[in-house]
Structures are given as C-alpha cells and as structure tokens.
Amino acid sequence: MFFRNETVTIINENVLTTRAVEKDSIDLIVTSPPYNVDIKYNANDDNLSYADYLAFSEEWFSRCLQWLKPDGRFCLNIPLDKNKGGQQHVGADLTKLATALGFHYHSTIVWNEGNISRRTAWGSWLKASAPYVIAPVELILVLYKERWKKTSGSGQSDMNKEEFMEWTNGLWTFPGESKKRIGHPAPFPAELPRRCIKLFSYVDDTVLDPFVGSGTTLVVAHLNQRRGIGIEVDKGYCTLAKERVSLVANQLRLF
C-alpha cells in the first residue's frame, strides 16, 4: 500500500498482478489506460505490437470484471482509432474484446476534445492518392458487469437537471488537460471522471482507477464524496497523485 486516508487508497503496483483489490467490491471503474502511442511514461513500454496491446487489454479487463460488483459499471476512455504505424479500429476492437470476456455493452460517449494534439500526418497533401482522415475525438466506452440497473449503494445522486440532461447526450465537449500543468505525460481533465462519477455512481460508492497516473480520478472522487482506489505502476506518479489528493483534502478542511 502506497497511501491510504479515510476515503482514498493508492496502490503502487502493476494492475496485472496486484492482489490489493477485493473481488466484487467496486461500484464504478473510470480509467484511461496507456494508448500504446509511444508516450514516455516512466515505468511501462507504451509501444507494444498491436497484438500484444490487445492481449494486455484483455488481461487487465478480466481483472476489472472480477473486481466489479454485479451491478458495477466500467467507463473506459480510449482512442477511437490508431493512425500511426498502420490504421486500427481500436474502439471497435476493445469493445469486442471486453464483451467477449463477459462485459455487457451499454453505450459509447464521444468526447469532442477541442484541443487534441496538433495534426502531423496528412498522407497525400491536397491529393486523393492517400489522404489521412483523423477525428479529433476520443471515446468513453460504458460497460457493465451483470445488470445495468443499480441496486447497491446509498441511492443518493448528486447531479442537477442541467447536468443530467447534458451528460446523457452522448457527445461531450470539453478541452483536454495540459501535461505541463499536471506534471504527467497523459492526464485526462477532471471533467471526464467528474461526469462519469456523478452520472453513474451514488454518493459513498467506491470508484477504482487501475491506471491512476497523476490521481485525477481520486481527486474528483474525493471532492464528490466517493471512496477512491487508484493503481499505478510508477512510484513517481503515485507521489504526484498523493500530493494532489492531499492538497484538495486540506483545502476542503478549511471550509
């Protein structure tokens, strides 16, 4: 165990081998795994062959399936497709893989990320021979373990009418997060876990992020009265996550 307070736990281990999460204990998983786009993380190789990436995904998906409660939900932030090193339909492949393992499909949210990284590849510039088409969006795949209707937990929701109306429209538009501001190579913006947590879980539920990075999911869970568990293989990122969680916890204590 790397860090634990009353509501937040950080586990500095590999998602594939940790034994720190109990079976059937998690209400909601919100996560953004490595995208296999050669990002320079400290501790893991983000440049696997596509077949190895799918095998890795299958392995950690099956662990998540075990960790979820029967009415547990899984919000998976992934790319729509892969454009470098051969075109791949990543979203379609991971959806298929998860449902083949036993997850049930609920829906796909398209995240329209205004400031997605600048285009570098055009294929055949101004020519029809081989142009590249790249959509400036990511997906949030919404899956569940056994049944969609949620019966466990406090039953207490904390979103208002405007939030419910906006978030149940499956096109979400908000900007990405700055790597520099957070000090991590691929953070997601707090708005992403905030919407997932408030739309899909109750107050006091337990939310897991198996690739917690800089701890964004834990910060948002804490701010919204959920318990948070984060797994992260890199110790430096665990330290960053702990610092971010401690900062908001201290700020909340001042009020």
Ligand X SMILES: C[S@@+](CC[C@H](N)C(=O)[O-])C[C@H]1O[C@@H](n2cnc3c(N)ncnc32)[C@H](O)[C@@H]1O
Largest CA distance in the chain: 62
Between residues 64 and 150, which has the closer beta carbon with respect to ligand X?
Answer: 64
Minimum CB separation of residue 155 from ligand X in Å reads: 28
Q: How far is CA 64 from CA 21, 26, 76, 249, in A?
A: 10, 9, 11, 27
* Closest among 187, 155, 148, 157 to 68, alpha carbons compared: 148
Give the integer Cα–Cα distance in Å for 6 and 254: 17
Q: Is 43 in the site for ligand X (CB under 6 A)?
A: yes
Q: Does 188 bind ligand X (CB under 6 A)?
A: yes
Site string for ligand X, 139-178 (x = CB under 6 A): ----------------------------------------
Among residues 82, 145, 184, 195, which is the contact residue for ligand X, using CB under 6 A? 184
Question: How far does the chain reach from its first CA to its final CA, in angstroms?
Answer: 29
Q: Among 1-9, 68-76, 146-154, 207-215, which window interacts with ligand X (CB under 6 A)? A: 207-215
Tell me: does residue 53 bind ligand X (CB under 6 A): no
Token reading at 184: 């991590």
Q: How far is the CB of 6 from ligand X (least distance, A)?
A: 22
Class of residue 53 by CB neighbours under 10 A (exposed 0-12, middle 13-18, buried 19+)? buried
Task: Report how many residues bind ligand X under the rule CB under 6 A.
Answer: 21
- C-beta closer to ligand X: residue 10 or 153: 10
Choices 90-98, 136-144, 206-214, 221-229 (CB under 6 A): range interacting with ligand X: 206-214
Helix runs in the chain, H state only: 50-67, 90-101, 161-167, 179-182, 191-200, 216-223, 235-253
Nearer CB in complex with ligand X: 184/198: 184
d(CA 78, CA 180): 21
Query: How many other C-beta atoms are found inside a 10 Å radius of the C-beta of residue 46?
Result: 15
Nearer to ligand X, 77 or 153 (CB): 77
How many angstroms separate the Cα of 224 from the Cα of each of 139, 198, 232?
23, 8, 22
Query: Footprint of ligand X on residues 12-41 (CB under 6 A)?
Result: 14-16, 32, 34, 41
As measured in angstroms, the least distance from the Cβ of 112 to ligand X is: 18
Choice from 216, 220, 227, 228 touching ligand X (CB under 6 A) = 216
For ligand X, the closer of residues 53 and 211 by Cβ is 211
Is residue 232 close enough to count as binding ligand X by CB under 6 A? yes
Question: Given the structure tokens 């702990």, which residue do they identify?
Answer: 242
User: Is 233 an interacting residue with respect to ligand X (CB under 6 A)?
Assistant: yes
- Positions touching ligand X (CB under 6 A) are 14-16, 32, 34, 41, 43-44, 184, 186-188, 211, 213-214, 216, 231-234, 237
